[in-house]
Structure 1
Amino acid sequence: MQPTDRHDDVMNRATERNLAMHQPQDQVRDTDKPREPQESADPRRWKALAVICTAQLMLMLDLTVINVALPDLGADLGLSRGAFTWVVSVYVLFLGGLLLLGGRLADVFGARSMILTGLVVFILSSLASGLAQDENLLIGGRLCQGIGAALLSPAALRALTGIFHGTERNKALGVWSSLGGIGFAVGVFVGGLLTSGPGWRWVFFINIPIGVITLVAIRALVPERRIAGANRRIDVLGAVTVTAATGSFIYGMINAGDHGWADPGTLVPIAAAVILYVVFTVVERKVQNPLVRPDMLVRRPVATGAFLMLIAAGVTVADLFITSQYLQHLRGYSALETGLFFLPTALATMVGAIVGGRLVGTIGTRPVAVAGLALVAIGNGLLIGLSANGNVYAQALPGAVLFALGGAPVFVAATTAALGRVTQDEAGLVSGMVYTFNPTGSAIFVAVGSTVAASGLASTPSIEGFTNVYTMFTVVAAVAAVVSLVLAPSGKPQMTGVPDAR
């Protein structure tokens, strides 16, 4: 380089530095600003959503698909009266009891790994249930189905929140959150169809081909996401105490529906659950790597999500259960006719979830939760006018469609509220915590609803039993809507607790 060239180069650099010193801060070149790392959208995300939702829908179907198969199943295996209750309830018991542990395992070992593990357990236990020759083997198979579901469900939600970003995440959560109501409504139809066709064993066998195809698709489409540097130690004592507490509580609620609130089978498990939850709180304050920090339970987003999930799952699932009993027990509908009645309700659930997912991202959690609960209250209010005769579709369908249409957005609001503003290593656990209130709420409200509707479920049914339940649910949903005005956070959800792809 010539001396004159060197001189010109030095002068040019000096001029650039001088201009930069006098340039306003907001006019500094973009290349000089530190850039936030951007995560590109996964091109497989919508296919991944489809297979994740397929796996989740299988779990939801098994909450109710067995109900319409019970008469044939009981006659074939010679089930005792107590076995009838256990065949239905043991699945919910272990699903609800182990969800917290499932969420923590998803944090530690990765969401996809736990989805695959839970799905394998679910497929094998479905095969065992379908091949069962006595009540003990059937109950054992249902128990293992619950374990597989508890491993899969929170991991599925964690994987979903890691794949989607921004407004797309709210839409995806809307689809995922709708699966509870859809599964219940469709489960009644599928159970009746399979039982009246190839037989009751196919309510379990149907899970095997669907599960295997889903297993292969998840391995191909869902990326593994682990928390960098996550502590791999598991709080075993905390997991045991919270599982026992939740299981005991659900068992007490189920028993209340069968034998009443004063029965020792109700009071003792519920008292034991309270004691075990206290022990769990003490344990979590003492251990070095707790399953859940007690302070997390009082965070506003988590408390909001838990409350909304409890009410949404409890009231809508109990509504569907009570309405199906009204149709079959009082109006003499067959299982297949009952399932056909609920198809518009399943469609309303899908529409409500999609609309709710969009609205949460545009107007926020609070208005969606309040409006959804208001629709649930209005739908139940319409059902108060049911009679023991007359056109069922004219009397019952409008109310059923409205409570389904309103309940689905509340599921979306619960999920998005809870997963907002949590750290990356808490996302799986929080999803497990909030989803625990789904089977818990279902068990509570179905048990309470069955007790209130006792006269409608008697050998000589009375319409007053059913209208009393709808009156109670109208009040509960209306009060919950008012509470949500205060409890639910304002503004749009900020999904900060999603894991990075590592």
Structure 2
Amino acid sequence: MPNRSRTCPDTRTSAPPDPSHGVAKPRVPLAAVAAVACVAQFMVVLDSSIVNVALPSMKTGLGLSASAQQWVVNGYLVAFGGLLLFAARASDLFGRRRTFHIGLVVFSLASLAGGLAQDGWMLLAARVVQGAGAAALAPSSLSLITASHTEPDRRTRAMTWWGVAASSAGAAGIVVGGLLAQLSWRWVMLVNVPIGAGLLIAGLMFLAPTATGRRRSHIDLPGAITVTLSAGALVHGVSAAPDAGWGTPRVIVSLAAGLLLLAAFVAIERRSSDPLVPPGILSLANVRMGNILTLCMGAVLTAPLFFLSLYLQQVLGQSAVRTGLSLLPMVAVISIGVLLSQKLIPRVGARRLVGIGGAIAAAGLAWLGRIPVHSDYVAHVLLPTVVVAAGTSLTMMPAIVASTSGIAPRNAGVASGLLNMCRQLGAALGLAVLVTIATTVTSHSTGSGNTAVVDGYRIAFYALAALSLVTAVLAQRLKPAQDTTAAANPSDTG
């Protein structure tokens, strides 16, 4: 009998390759993964700014001091930024879905606790825990995209929408916060609970468990502790300086401790067998520069909303709702600008685009530096904020692209964590420094009342304009090799 094994075709066919690379469950489209990632990123960035409009009512309701008001914002940002690398590495080692779900649960429960807070310390504690939950969500959200969308065109589109979510959330937080604060400041916190529950259900439905293949690896816990404590000490020292004085032991010890802990973190990373930041990642010049740009832009994106919210409510006497609506045009401009920048990167180049965007934002911030005590909305708020939004929106996507290009899928989480850490710590440290500058100028102003307060705000806006120009100059160090590549294919680097 002839051997039919050579002539009969094998009807068994191999399974088609999984386009999601195991991130999504079978038959779940990549668009669903991108949607979950974008909503999660929108929520965590939204929460860094949504409380700005509600700060006056929080102060009244819970008897918060001026320092405590600042820490309602910075407590979240410090925990968020400080724990990002730890959570990002956990995402790579133990699974994106698991880390994503843990972050959602922690974030949602902390939001519930903050909304039910009966004292100032309870609200501040809830904000810190919220930041810890956000630290788990943010890197896993971007790594869901970078690990599943490996085709350049798809990855570019998904990352653009992720960038839109991240960029517009800061401005949208002012609008949403104003509407919710009109009901009660508690809704500013409680709104996250149903969103978090919906995301948790979507994650369970759409996301597959991640097979990391590195279960025996260990997270660099000493490195995570030192970088978090370093961020907290530095922000505390800077924010305490206006009241205590720069030369007081409290401030000196706090700043010195922050710098020593930062040095200890660098030393630990160099000796660790499983560092939070694999050395191969930072060997990429554009990744390094992209994160430096993101650090600067963290302050440029966050601080103007903080000062404008206080200016509109406490100086001009606007309601929370009117304040939110006054800044609504920023949301539209930022969203449009980020979408436009995706198409401009291949044509103009990331280096030139950040330079142009940084210069435009600097012009708008300098315009805000001329705000009067009695303001005309169109001339002194609407037009300059639109200019600022147009400039900053052009800088976001180039920085994200540079910070994630050439990263291997196994390190997608830590690359995203590094990017988000730079953004959040830039926002926290930048806000602390600028509040210190504004408070110092106000205390030494020859004017009184609102005149002195506005003098402080003006100098803060001028300082932000200078920082935006620095960002534009630094962007010129981006390498042209990756400069025009909107989304490089992931390599084995790192």
Q: With the length of structure 1 as denominator, give the TM-score of the two structures.
A: 0.84
User: 1:495 corresponds to which residue?
Assistant: 488
CA contact (8 A) 1:420 1:496 kept: yes
Q: CA deviation at 1:362?
A: 4.9
CA 1:179–1:247: 2 relative to 1, 3 Å: farther
Report the secondary structure of 1:475's partner residue: helix
CA contact (8 A) 2:88 2:417 kept: yes
CA contact (8 A) 2:362 2:468 kept: yes
Segments of structure 2 that go 5 or more residues without pairing to the other structure are 1-15
CA distance in 2, matches of 1:172, 1:260: 47
User: 1:171 corresponds to which residue?
Assistant: 157
Q: CA deviation at 1:237?
A: 1.6
Q: CA deviation at 1:245?
A: 1.7
CA distance in 2, matches of 1:393, 1:341: 10
Q: Which moved more, 1:111-120 or 1:161-170?
A: 161-170
CA 1:176–1:58: 2 relative to 1, 3 Å: same
The counterpart of 1:308, out of the listed 286, 289, 293, is: 293
The counterpart of 2:337, out of the listed 339, 342, 352, is: 352
Q: Say whether residues 1:114 and 2:99 are aligned partners.
A: yes
1:158-197 equivalence runs, <5 A: 158-164=143-149, 165-197=151-183
Q: CA deviation at 1:359?
A: 2.6
CA 1:316–1:229: 2 relative to 1, 3 Å: closer
- The one-letter amino acid of 2:469's match is A
CA distance in 1, matches of 2:260, 2:491: 33
CA 1:57–1:262: 2 relative to 1, 3 Å: farther
CA 1:45–1:179: 2 relative to 1, 3 Å: same
User: 1:481 corresponds to which residue?
Assistant: 472
CA distance in 2, matches of 1:139, 1:330: 25
Structure 1 runs (4+) greater than 6 angstroms displaced: none
Per-residue CA distance 1:124-150 (angstroms, 9 max, x = gap): 111111222223332222221111001
The counterpart of 1:48, out of the listed 33, 40, 61, is: 33
- The one-letter amino acid of 2:170's match is F
- The one-letter amino acid of 1:357's match is Q
- The one-letter amino acid of 2:19's match is S
CA distance in 2, matches of 1:380, 1:488: 28
Q: CA deviation at 1:122?
A: 0.7
User: 1:466 corresponds to which residue?
Assistant: 457
Q: CA deviation at 1:394?
A: 2.3
CA contact (8 A) 2:82 2:229 kept: yes
CA distance in 2, matches of 1:254, 1:452: 10
Q: CA deviation at 1:295?
A: 6.3
User: 1:61 corresponds to which residue?
Assistant: 46
CA contact (8 A) 1:159 1:225 kept: no
Report the secondary structure of 1:133's partner residue: coil
1:40-439 equivalence runs, <5 A: 40=19, 44-79=29-64, 82-164=67-149, 165-197=151-183, 199-229=184-214, 231-256=216-241, 261-293=246-278, 296-297=281-282, 299-439=284-424
CA distance in 2, matches of 1:325, 1:200: 15
Q: CA deviation at 1:361?
A: 4.7
CA distance in 2, matches of 1:370, 1:263: 40
The structure number with the bigger radius of gyration is 1
Report the secondary structure of 1:98's partner residue: helix
Per-residue CA distance 1:4-49 (angstroms, 9 max, x = gap): xxxxxxxxxxxxxxxxxxxxxxxxxxxxxxxxx9763686222332
CA contact (8 A) 1:374 1:477 kept: yes
Per-residue CA distance 1:249-295 (angstroms, 9 max, x = gap): 23334334665644544432222121112212222222222222456
CA distance in 2, matches of 1:465, 1:484: 29
Compute the RMSD of aligned alpha carbons: 2.7
- The one-letter amino acid of 1:416's match is V
Q: Which moved more, 1:120-129 or 1:460-469?
A: 460-469
Q: Which moved more, 1:383-392 or 1:405-414?
A: 383-392
CA distance in 2, matches of 1:262, 1:340: 42
Report the secondary structure of 1:40's partner residue: coil
CA contact (8 A) 2:368 2:384 kept: yes
Q: CA deviation at 1:498?
A: 7.7
Q: CA deviation at 1:72?
A: 3.2
CA contact (8 A) 2:226 2:261 kept: yes
CA distance in 2, matches of 1:491, 1:202: 44
CA 1:230–1:442: 2 relative to 1, 3 Å: same
CA distance in 2, matches of 1:80, 1:390: 27
CA 1:286–1:216: 2 relative to 1, 3 Å: same
Report the secondary structure of 2:217's partner residue: coil
- The one-letter amino acid of 2:459's match is N
Q: CA deviation at 1:303?
A: 1.4
CA contact (8 A) 2:361 2:468 kept: yes
CA distance in 1, matches of 2:250, 2:145: 39
CA contact (8 A) 1:252 1:267 kept: yes
Q: With the length of structure 2 as denominator, give the TM-score of the two structures.
A: 0.85
Per-residue CA distance 1:328-353 (angstroms, 9 max, x = gap): 23322222211111110011111111
CA 1:267–1:392: 2 relative to 1, 3 Å: farther
Report how many residues are paired: 463
Q: CA deviation at 1:315?
A: 1.2
CA 1:84–1:315: 2 relative to 1, 3 Å: closer
Q: CA deviation at 1:203?
A: 1.5
Q: CA deviation at 1:224?
A: 4.1
- The one-letter amino acid of 1:476's match is L
CA distance in 1, matches of 2:93, 2:200: 21
Q: Which moved more, 1:92-101 or 1:40-49?
A: 40-49
